[in-house]
Structure 1
């Protein structure tokens, strides 16, 4: 923090005293300058401590007043007058004029040379610059560790905390990737600026809106920027803050420009890790740490149901936003959707990012289910929960379904695995599963759609992309294979419960 006039006057070794304008002594001193001119203002830039022996001061009251007013109007921090060479006392006209403008005047005793005052100011400025450099270095190291540890999300949170500011990162189309701080509509303000500049901000922008100073910085890339970093603070950022923002821009650009080969390799590693865990295997401790899951943490499974789409298509759309969110995750494509393993406290954030990505990338909403928390080492036991919760969600695009919100499924979870297996067999569903496996048919999927839509031929057929007559033929075959009339209410209930029990296996 740069020295103020009051702090300078408090240096006892100098013997300075404030004789006028004490209310203005909070101004910072940018330099100390001895100058003996009647009008020194052409050689001043503001913030200086002007020192004079008074040799050039006018003798008349009006001239002395105008001299003080010129200095105050030029933004000078204070006036220091020596009382050991030309003057023995400071003229009352100068004191009165300084009080009138809240402009501080310091009395310099005869034994204090101007060089001592200048050296004190210069030493403090040098120390302040050193503090700024150290602050920037510390901040850069903190941001680098945040980026390495948690990617974009942790980096944005760290920058926000370091600057005591609101921070937001958006992609080139204005979609929010990460945000931190109290200004919740920062993304909207960035999008408005994008719209005002025809969808592309070419350089840094500084905006004053409401009580906020907002800086928007492009994240450089070949061609259009990867996106934009916006920082909103109540006051303008100081030099250290601006340097930290510049460093964050570099880190964010590097993070968003990871070569495709690296991203593919990381993706394959996450998929292999989840596949291993689902099969009952154990992750190597070092690999678990590398993937962001040290010490067997508590996690949940977020399952995104593909519906009528290919699960691979769903994965392609949601993976990039999940990756840039910065939270550690594992991901695997299953037959009917995509399974994500994330820390328990990231579930809502990842679900929201996934839903938003699906809406923008697929032009449709998806069903999302969330399992109960478990340890990473036992994650295989809850994959079925998340899948079942997603498939049990009645309304596509509604908020993600937690397994505990689904009454029937929660009851099934309380049953031992043997009981659920018995239900699958007694209902005839196992016969249908075996038939599909032997004949490469999709009767189980057909049954699921038919029961989900309450036996409505057209709706269930449309959900599968088949003709209603094909649907009727399949349902007839299902009744034949299971030995149950699918239109019978009791059998329908048994088959529906069996389907849910199968999801939990």
Structure 2
């Protein structure tokens, strides 16, 4: 857990503050550490500022508290005065360091013309960075610059977290979601990400190897947060809980081994999976990014272990090995289904995340976000309702052996729904004159009649859509996502190839009959 004295704002690197040309600050003592940071600014003229410091401050002073040891004539102090002044500054700097101060800024106006040499020596001795604040720079200006740098750091952190969330979510929708999420997490954090199984074994990993010692420590840290108990070689972490201080099995824990920062997160699915992360440094936002990955991996591992996920995997394997759809359908949760074709109302096709959200809204995980249309297989007892932002075409309820026909019904329903600007349109089978013709004879007649155009799928689909929409050029163009002039050209080409008059209602009826049987 972080030190409670450290504020929730991101720290500011001291080097970034020194780089501000408007401040003209100059480091004149103390280590030149590029990793040195300040968390806030405090101004004090107390001889002992210790009681007023929380740690991490850039302490600003004009030296009002310094004893007048230089003599009234302005000359250098005598040896005894210099020794006394040196003792004063030693105590002053030692107290700042003991309080956790990050740096000291000394203003050379209006009390002093230069920074006292004894103060410079004391800061060198205690390793406290000492900054000279020129006369034209006010303390409030220094404080404002720190807040500005903090705001910039916070914005950069939020942007980094947002981009990481988007990339991790996209990775979770890939065909290999768990390895993809781990690779993306390792890339975002610049380290290694590992998924440990319930028995403590490494299931998958990505990123740079942190070394044998850090790797073993990370595996031990994963045992600390695993609900089923700790693993071997458990280190001494700083954990979110523990014996006498919270739940017996914390949900996360951190440690530092061999200069590598380690973190472990128990996945919320409750099956004993743990996410481990090892990074060379701990940057702001790392915990948030890793937590997002842990949530996604919880969903992925939970689904894999759940009855629904296992049944779906079993059904897929059986289909790939040659089992008929009607045999595997009971594993998927129903015996009669509807096929839903959906298109988003906005511009462009739906991405994988939007397709998954659509499946969740329809109550089915059987989603195919292929091309411009998202196809979803839904149990018939979960009749879809209109969804904001989507246009849906729904087939009639069908047994598994009739899924291909239902897929065609849903496609046609979606085309009509888009043409008529209806949020949801269902296919409604009913007795028709076509039922009086044997299917074999109807198919043979259709092949013979439509043979001039069936070699051109675009012409066939245009003719079908145009007839279904009663010859409307505009609605056909909308349904096919083409220009109305393209529809006119295609229909005219069909009329020429078929050598018939498409304005004749008898011809239209015969063609429509044939199109339903090819």
- TM-score, normalization by structure 1: 0.50
Q: Larger % of helix: which?
A: 1
- TM-score, normalization by structure 2: 0.49
